[in-house]
Structure 1
């Protein structure tokens, strides 16, 4: 444990403690509440300068690779188009004409794929007549891997490894498993590797978001968090571009093109990204925290002595202690239960709807591109409302709007016959639904960061993302089942997200509040 003469770099008067609170005289030492790092971060490295921006950008770029591995199956696992090659007469009627909507009822020698068989796992491995569970197995395995990886690794970013190391580890697992996926020779190996990829992916986005927001003060916290949302959009947009360029080529090339850049990114993270000074402080690694603050600071700072024994004793926890701190008290457990319910509903739409785009009567490349592009205005809207609207109101409004639009999409799909611009209206309403889900998801992530403390922040964020992913687990099955009746999947999407979004009314508002670092500090705030 470091001694009391350790330096902290901060340009403040002598009556200000190292953690940013003025020293107060209390007749009873038990009345003192634990300090926060918020004001120290703001005073020592400024509000939001170029050093913080570059660090947040480097950390947040992990979201681009997260998006690629999450939605890559939209193209690699797609149901390819086909056409008749010969005419078999059945009561003087073409077999293809009678059963043209069901490929499994057509003799195999009377049809062929429009593109080479290796363009999709469905055509390469003869899965065109497999059930929806089998077709959705690889992507469901990916989401199950996200669940398992999140549950097993969630608290390591808080307890022992830190945010930076978890981004590195997750990105490395994700890249190596994606690279290995390119050499799969059956759906079982393919699904197993997708599971491993999901395990690595589970901790990447969460750690990147927490790290980028902990490098800045409360004024710029939401803005730093939205950098990751823009990076996610970039990664999502890269998929239809790559798929269009290599159309007709093997689906394996998609995995090669996404895994190699991720591997290079791991090197960048290891060499250039700093660890969160907040996490270093609460873990008792004061010298490293000071060095990080000094490296990012653009100010001329004075040296002050400080003591952080109390903070270390409260936050120097292990894997199980982190979980115990959340579940042993009523208020953090209640908050966590509510945000996971909301996350489940949002996740079913956020991950399931892009996988169901093939069920719409619209070009797959264009529809995926439009959905990916809708992430950009969602990030911009999130950036705009973060500083102006209440978190509760924003999450509820966009969740309900997404549910209504998804239900309208379902109704449009059930309407028989063709009317003018039906396909365009259907696509437009679907885009509004996905855009609303994206915005609700973005704000919910920032909201959750503000609801929980530094000691458990990464763990609770991971649990939220597991709830989102758990909702996404049902997406591939709904998408595969929706190939026969797509309106059912969109109806389920609308009902679930609309209902789950209403639970936000039971959470406290956090807009404009500083971040707390310990559970005791939050309890002190709640008691006053």
Structure 2
């Protein structure tokens, strides 16, 4: 007769093994970041394709940021031969606003830019000349408060990026119908509202789809595409130099519309966000498409366990996490310090490009030089964040950028090559700081508020762009052309020192809830 004991022992062993597997699963997978490391910690072809498709949005983002360099510029002019007055006309020295209209004419046609088409060259207020550009950046700022939170709650990263691209591209195409500066400024404002979340959704979506080891790589990829947009804009403007400013808007809006269709059909949502929203099946599907592993059972167990663990901490109110963010002292301090730091960086970064015409150089080559200079900034950024901590990297780049910017006004008036060299050096520092602070902002806050917090930091950078547009316009007079560079230098240096108020995040995992963030920092005695 067979001994029944082995059967009983086998049953007990199966239950014990099942219990041990469950305990081991809980031990191995403690957070979403652990699961990301275990399932998509590598970087395969699927992740590369997704990273490229998402990063393409940065091309159109950068083009819209610097369009005004060409569409809102004052064209060159020449003296006419029918000078019947006693006024002496000299296109190199004369003030166009003090000459009779019969004594001069625009080079080319009157609709080359909005300044020549609508007669803004003699506008008494720098505010009017800088209104379109400032309106666009102000739209970016206000758009953050209205739509950025939706990327953390109901819409998600992908849908928010899609909506932003559609609004921006459609409004940009409608801008060509503007017949005065007020309607034009309104269209630029609406395009800014649409564009508000593109940069943030792009970098957050990229980082949340890869493991900790690859964050810096996808961040650099995003910045590279942003640079590609900056460099491509002068090429588009140069090809349309004999056309109306409307042609530039057409050439930048249509490709963005096409990209929106590609984004809708080919880009997947962030698995972190899907799981935090309780959308388990979609999260599983996305993780399988990105994962280099074939163990579906292990992946399914991880998803189920984390779904139960994480969604129990998420409230349904889409504004609850924002309230929670500002109710916590450490979070308020981080947001404030990050925004002040971002403002200084944005003022210099955008001011250097928007004000390039004040140095008297060719606006096509100057923007190309600034754009190409962003490429070495990627390698500098990579070395800084790999070998140094975030705080030291930001402080050093901000201080150096400020020193070079102030030095521009100290250079001899006739040494134009020295001035452009100092401008490029200052821009390199600001550009590197710009790249580092976006990575830093992502690491400072958990998934539940990451997109909103990063948007706040990014829009503080944009607020700097608003003021830089006005400063550049005010510096259009011959006596004040270099004064904005002093302001840029002083502000970025002063704001750079606020980085000492922030904690270090190098090699720290990405957390998903406020409680996880606090628990980790309490255990590691992080000063906030």
- After TM superposition, is the score higher than 0.5? yes
Q: Does 1:22 align with 2:36?
A: no
Q: Residues 87 and 96 of structure 1 are in contact (CA less than 8 Å); yes or no, is this contact kept in structure 2?
A: no
Counterpart CA distance in 2 for 1:98 and 1:116 is 17
- Give the CA deviation at 1:384: 2.7
* Structure 2 gaps, min length 5: 1-19, 524-528
Q: In structure 1, what is the equivalent of residue 332 of structure 2?
A: 333
Q: What is residue 134 of structure 2 aligned with on the other side?
A: 140
User: Among 32, 41, 44, which residue is 1:46 paired with?
Assistant: 41
Structure-2 separation of matches of 1:490 and 1:264 = 39
Q: Mapping of 1:252-401 within 5 angstroms?
A: 252-304=246-298, 305=301, 306-307=304-305, 308-401=307-400
Q: Matches of 2:271 and 2:490 in 1, distance apart?
A: 42
The answer for the alignment partner of 1:61 in structure 2 is 56
Normalization by structure 1: what TM-score? 0.91
Superposed displacement of residue 88, structure 1: 4.7
Deviations 1:421-467 (A, max 9, x none): x1111101101111110100100000110110000000000111111
Paired position in structure 2 for 1:163:
157
- Report the Cα offset of residue 272 of structure 1: 0.5
TM-score, normalization by structure 2: 0.91
**Match for residue 172 of structure 1?**
166
Q: Which of 185, 189, 194 lines up with 1:191 in the alignment?
A: 185
Alignment partner, residue 103 of structure 2? 110
Matched residue SS, 1:96: coil
Q: After superposition, what is the alpha-carbon deviation per residue over 1:337-359, rounded to whole angstroms, capped at 9, x for unaligned?
A: 10000000011111122110110
Structure 1 partner of 2:418: 425
Per-residue deviation at 1:410? 2.3
Answer yes or no: is the 8 Å Cα contact 1:360–1:486 preserved in 2.
yes
Q: Is the 8 A contact 2:40 2:211 kept in 1?
A: no
Matched residue SS, 2:160:
helix
User: CA offsets per residue over residues 364-414 of structure 1, 9 Å max, x none?
Assistant: 1111110111111112222232222110011111111111111011222xx
What are the within-5 Å matches in structure 2 for residues 237-252 of structure 1? 237-252=231-246
Match of 2:212 in 1: 218
Query: Match for residue 32 of structure 1?
Result: none
In the alignment, does 2:518 pair up with 1:523?
yes
Are the structure 2 counterparts of residues 426 and 274 from structure 1 closer, same or farther at C-alpha, using a change threshold of 3 Å? same
Measure how far apart 1:87 and its partner are: 6.6
1:350-499 pair list within 5 angstroms: 350-412=349-411, 415-416=412-413, 418=414, 422-484=415-477, 485-499=480-494
Report the CA distance between 1:207 and its aligned residue.
Answer: 0.4
Distance apart, 1:316 and its partner CA: 4.0
Q: Deviations over 1:457-485 (max 9, x none)?
A: 00000111111111111111111111111
Say whether residues 1:153 and 2:147 are aligned partners.
yes
Q: Which has the higher helix share?
A: 2
Per-residue displacement from partner, 1:98-135 (whole Å, max 9, x unpaired)?
A: 99342100111000111211110000011110121101
Is 2:79–2:91's contact at 8 Å kept on the other side of the alignment?
no
Higher relative contact order (CA 8 A, sep 6+): 1
Structure 1 residues 16, 437: CA separation in 2 closer, same or farther (over 3 Å shift)? Answer: farther
Q: Which residue number in structure 2 is paired with residue 129 of structure 1?
A: 122
Instruction: Provide structure 1 residue ranges, at least 5 long, that are not aligned to the other structure.
Output: 1-11, 24-34
CA distance in 2, matches of 1:288, 1:250: 47
Shift of 1:315: 2.3
Once structures 1 and 2 are overlaid, which stretch shifts more, 241-250 or 39-48? 39-48
Using the alignment, how far apart are the partners of 2:408 and 2:193 within structure 1? 33
> What does residue 80 of structure 2 align with?
85
Aligned residues: 496
Decide whether the 8 Å contact of 2:42 with 2:292 is kept in 1. Answer: no
Higher Cα radius of gyration: 2
Q: Which moved more, 1:340-349 or 1:81-90?
A: 81-90
Residues 151 and 466 of structure 1 are in contact (CA less than 8 Å); yes or no, is this contact kept in structure 2? Answer: no
CA distance in 1, matches of 2:41, 2:209: 10
Structure 2 CA distance for partners of 1:382 and 1:126, relative to 1, 3 Å: same
Distance in 2 (CA, whole Å) between partners of 1:16 and 1:168 is 40
Is residue 507 from structure 1 mapped to residue 502 from structure 2 by the alignment? yes
SS in structure 1 opposite 2:28?
coil
SS in 2 for 1:95: coil
